[in-house]
Structure 1
Amino acid sequence: MGILTSSKRNRRPSRNSYTVSSRPSSPSGAANGKSFFAHVKTALSWTLGLGLGALLLVGLALGGLHLHRLATTSDFFAIRRIEIRGTTHFNREEVLKAANLQVGVNSLTVNIADVERGLRDNPGVAAVAVKRRLPDAFEIRIRERIPAFWMLKDGVLHYADNRGRTIAPVSVGNFLSLP
């Protein structure tokens, strides 16, 4: 074979999982040569770190709940303005009743999906969009179905749009002269 160079001759033999360590085991029997107190110190530091982390999370959660309660009960977010656009056949009181909105209620407690659903349930409403304008206003945009003619349905006279869909029964309070 070849001649070994001096650097390869002076190397320590490599260890693998089959070689036995020549290091004597520690008298206390601790793994990796650590003493019992070193293990206790490591365990205490981990426990303290986890405890402080859990305490921080609980503090953040309680602080968030307190801020939420303050915001939803504050007069700063009370509704002062409600803008209604796009109505010709509905008056303001009908829209507010269908939307279940009132001046003075905290705007953060209002569910916009419920407001839109309440307005869409009216057969005269084709489309609706509600926007919350913090801190104290709401904007409601309504596109109404326009009555084009009268239609007799089940013995009752109804308004109908240009596609023939019924809108609402004709009454004295909402009478329109149509063909």
Structure 2
Amino acid sequence: MGPGFLERALHRLISLLQFALLACLLICAGYQSHYIFFKALYFRIREIGVHGNQALSQREIVRLSGLELGDLFFKYNYAKVKERILSNPRVEDARVVVKSPNAIEIQIKERSPSFRLVNGRESYEVDHFGRILGTQQTVKRLPTVSGANPQKGAGGLQLESTQKALLALWVPILEKSPLKDYASINISSPYRVEVRWKDWLVYLADPTLFDRNVELMARALQEATDRAKVVNVIDLRFSNLVLKLSDASAAPAGDPPADGEDDGSPRPAASPEAREGVAAR
């Protein structure tokens, strides 16, 4: 065993000690990193704020988001968080803002209900595009939509496309007209949309004739009042304004025509007396 052997053995020992020291340093660094990123409170969510909500509660929005207090803020894909919030039909738009590793802010914009849809024992709020928002009653007085056939789709309960189109067509027109305070709208047929307005049943079909016929309607209603006649039906579907009249003592105003009765459709008349239900062009 010569001097060369001892020198090599000492060199190997020093190398082993250096390796052991480096391994200890790496273990300590790994532990510190684990503590900083997975244990330290600075990187954990301690506050979730919600702004812009009205019908939906803060708890419901946080539940939709999937965020949980105490979780690490970088655990979540915030684009997916936004998608989950938007899955609720009441939410029109949403933003998820990471204000700090401790604080997340959710900003939402809700859709406004325009109607109440009664389907069996359930009552739903519906926006003017025909989206069914849910059963929660957020507005006390809303027009009623009837004649609809809600169906279950990928996004939940929905109206048929033709019925949604009818609402999207007529609601803006009605809201800018004297009929804006209507009580209900029946969309079972595009050829006779029935609107309950005050004490009258109004039939609609052609938007291009609406403004002109509404102008005629005001004069015709005044004439009917002057003649002590009760108006039951106002038909705005044709180029002629059609009113269904009865004597004030014959029937209460506002009663819709029963099955088999005259629905107010225009027909030939031999004299002005026979044309009592028609306001001429």
Q: The TM-score by the shorter chain falls in which range?
A: 0.5 to 0.7
Contact 1:74 1:106 in 2 (8 A): no
Alpha carbons of 1:131 and 1:82: their partners in 2 closer, same or farther (altered >3 Å)?
same
Contact 1:73 1:106 in 2 (8 A): no
The AA in structure 2 aligned to 1:84 is V
Deviations 1:142-177 (A, max 9, x none): 01111111124577421111222211134xxx4531
Q: Within the alignment, does 1:136 sit opposite 2:90 as a pair?
A: no
Aligned residues: 116
Assess if the C-alpha contact under 8 Å between 2:114 and 2:128 holds in 1: yes
1:80-159 alignment runs, 5 A limit: 80-153=46-119, 156-159=122-125
- Could you tell me how far 1:69 is from its partner in structure 2? 7.6
- Tell me which of the two structures has the higher relative contact order, counting C-alpha pairs closer than 8 angstroms and 6 or more residues apart: 1
* Alignment partner of 1:176 out of 139, 142, 145: 139
Using a 3 Å threshold, how does the CA distance of structure 1 residues 142 and 131 change in structure 2: closer, same or farther? same
2:56 is matched by which residue type in structure 1? F
Query: CA-to-partner distance for each residue in 1:25-48, whole Å, 9 max, x for gaps?
Result: xxxxxxxxxxxxxxxxxxxxxxxx
Structure 2: distance between partners of 1:164 and 1:109 = 37
Counterpart-to-counterpart distance in 2, 1:111 and 1:73: 20
SS of the residue corresponding to residue 115 of structure 1 reads helix
Cα distance in 2 for residues equivalent to 1:175 and 1:144: 12
Larger Rg: 1
More strand by share: 2
Question: Identity of aligned pairs, percent?
Answer: 27
Provide the rounded CA distance (Å) in 1 between the counterparts of 2:52 and 2:34: 34
Counterpart Cα distance in 2 of 1:69 and 1:115: 26
1:109 and 1:74 mapped to 2: Cα distance?
A: 14
- Structure 2 distance, partners of 1:165, 1:134, is 36
Cα offsets for 1:7-63 (capped at 9, x unmatched): xxxxxxxxxxxxxxxxxxxxxxxxxxxxxxxxxxxxxxxxxxxxxxxxxxxxxxxx8
Cα contact 1:130–1:140 (8 A) shared by 2: yes
Q: Normalised by the size of structure 2, how large is the TM-score?
A: 0.36
Structure 2 contact 89–131 (Cα < 8 Å) conserved: no
SS in 2 for 1:98: helix
Once the two structures are superposed, residues 110-168 of structure 1 have per-residue CA deviations (whole angstroms, 9 ceiling, x without a partner) of 22122112211111111111011222101101011111111245774211112222111
> How many Å separate the matches in 1 of 2:74 and 2:95?
17
Residue 98 of structure 1 and its aligned partner are, at CA, apart by 0.8
Amino acid at match of 2:139: L
Cα distance in 1, alignment partners of residues 138 and 71 from structure 2? 34
Partner of 1:59: none
**Quick one: distance in 2 between partners of 1:72 and 1:108?**
10
Q: Structure 2: where are the runs of 5+ without partners?
A: 1-28, 144-281
Cα RMSD, aligned residues only: 2.9
Alignment of 1:5-154 (within 5 A): 67=33, 70-153=36-119
Q: Who is 1:33 aligned against?
A: none
Q: What is the TM-score when the length of structure 1 is the normalising length?
A: 0.55
More helix by share: 1
